[in-house]
Amino acid sequence: MQSETINLVTNPHRFELAGLGCVGVSGQQIHDMQMYSRMQDPSGLNCLRTLMELRHLCPTAPDTLRSFPFSKEDPFVISQPADVVFTGCMPEYQASLEFQDETKFKRTALKLICVPAFLKTRSVVLLDTFSLESYELKMHN
């Protein structure tokens, strides 16, 4: 019998997929921003966009979102550019391909994806790693 290895990941989590730098968050950051900010458009997609502009994945921690206090460096600062940034636990699927200033982020495109909560929507999101197109796949009963 073969033993299984379980890989635990952090929140947020950075990884590489088919040569793309990907960053994922669980959604608490987005919900917290929606609750405490005065953004004109507090949609999940606009919150992700704002996090990328701020270059910080959890601007409300540890004040309103529980986080371990770090004394030497902030692990939520985005120090490396990402190609794909996504959040889970959203009420609906949203996606956008953003074009950025190449000198600021050293990338020309950034894919933002809001992944809906599977339990509520019974859907998953697929990403074409070549074209950066994403699709929502809904399961039917």
Kind of pairing between the strands at 84-90 and 20-25: parallel
pLDDT at 11: 87
Q: Given this model, what pLDDT does residue 69 score? A: 79
3.60.21.50, 3.40.50.300, 2.30.42.10, 1.10.3720.10: CATH of 13-63+74-138: 3.60.21.50
pLDDT score of 66 = 85
- C-alpha closest to that of 129 among 92, 90, 94, 86: 86
Q: Domain residue spans in the chain?
A: 13-63+74-138
Q: CA 40 → CA 31, 86, 119, 134, distances in Å?
A: 15, 21, 29, 26
pLDDT, tens digit (0-9, with 9 covering 90-100), for 16-68:
999 999 999 999 999 999 999 899 999 999 999 999 999 999 988 888 888 88
At residue 35, φ and ψ (nearest 5 deg) are -75, -40
Q: State the chain's mean pLDDT as an integer.
A: 89
pTM of the model as a whole: 0.87
Q: Omega into 12 within 30° of 0, i.e. cis? A: yes
Dig out the tokens for 107 from the structure: 């990338």
Q: Of 111, 115, 110, 67, which is closest to residue 87 (Cα–Cα)?
A: 115
Quote the CA–CA distance of 10 and 41 in Å, as a whole number. 28
